[in-house]
């Protein structure tokens, strides 16, 4: 099934280049599922961080703080499998590192747990099980732009409260009401319609692959 390149949302709402990151063991099938779950959670953490910042005027110091204040929910299985960390304040990167060695971690003498990393500024992923092409990466590309669209809706409301008028996407980014990751800027054209905005539209700048060598 082809992924839609044009998304319309009316709801309100981001790699750490570790040395040797590419030397982590190849994920086994059961690990791959957990890695995808961790990536989902990282995107939830980034969204919750932006909401926390808008609510309190500061960025959260830790993922545990977000959890304790109910901005996100880390269930017992996620806590057992992963540790999530911010890097920087405001955060520039979010990392998830598995709390135990992968079953095949010692193959080739690597001895490393799985880890997945998200660079907020560029929107790029790095670490275990990350491939830059294919349907899985396209899925996360769509998730990235959905987060940005929701952030725009929230930023528009805050900008209106501050100024008494509605701003377009360029003005919201210029005045730092919202941060749009570089990969979203490259891959999508974003527009808001209406005053007040009643829809946010993201149009892909290229065709999204729906099969080998098919665009």
Of the three residues 95, 127, 159, the one that is the final residue of a domain is 127
The rounded average pLDDT for each run of 10 residues, N- to C-terminus, in the chain (215 residues) is 34 31 58 85 92 92 95 91 93 92 58 84 79 56 80 88 89 87 79 86 65 34
Domain identity same for 24 and 113: yes
Residues 70 and 140 both lie in one domain: no
Which residue range forms the structural domain that includes residue 182? 135-204
Q: What pLDDT is stored for residue 112 in this prediction?
A: 75
In this structure, the answer to whether residues 175 and 82 fall within a common structural domain is no
For residue 1, being part of any structural domain is answered with no
Same domain, yes or no, for 122 and 163?
Answer: no
Give me the number of domains the chain comprises: 2
Angle value at C-alpha 10, between 177 and 141, nearest 5 degrees = 70
Within a domain: 145: yes
Predicted local confidence at residue 103, as pLDDT = 65
Global confidence as pTM: 0.56
How is 89-118 classified by DSSP, letter by letter?
Answer: TTTSEEEEEESS--TTTTGGG-----EEEE
Q: How many CB atoms lie within 10 A of CB 205?
A: 10
Contact 113, 105 (CB under 8 A): yes
Q: What is the per-residue pLDDT for 52?
A: 94
Tell me: do 27 and 117 sit in the same domain. Answer: yes
Same domain? 123 vs 139? no
Length of the chain: 215
pLDDT value at position 128? Answer: 81
């Amino acid at each position: 099934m082809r992924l839609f390149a044009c998304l319309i949302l009316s709801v309100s709402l981001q790699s750490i280049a570790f040395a040797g990151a590419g030397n982590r063991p190849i994920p086994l099938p059961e690990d791959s599922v957990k890695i995808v779950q961790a990536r989902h959670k990282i995107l939830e953490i980034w969204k919750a961080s932006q909401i926390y910042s808008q609510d309190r005027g500061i960025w959260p110091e830790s993922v545990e703080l977000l959890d304790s204040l109910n901005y996100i929910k880390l269930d017992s299985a996620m806590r057992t499998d992963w540790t999530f960390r911010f890097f920087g304040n405001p955060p520039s990167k979010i990392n998830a590192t598995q709390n135990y060695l992968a079953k095949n971690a010692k193959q080739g003498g690597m001895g490393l747990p799985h880890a997945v990393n998200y660079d907020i500024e560029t929107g790029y992923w790095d670490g275990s099980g990350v491939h830059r092409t294919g349907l899985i990466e396209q899925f996360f590309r769509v998730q990235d732009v959905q987060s940005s669209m929701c952030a725009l809706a929230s930023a528009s409301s805050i900008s209106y409260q501050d100024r008494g008028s509605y701003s377009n996407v360029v003005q919201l980014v210029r005045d730092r009401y919202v941060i749009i990751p570089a990969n979203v800027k490259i891959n999508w054209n974003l527009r808001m319609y209406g005053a007040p905005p009643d829809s946010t539209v993201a149009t892909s700048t290229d065709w999204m692959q729906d099969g080998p060598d098919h665009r």
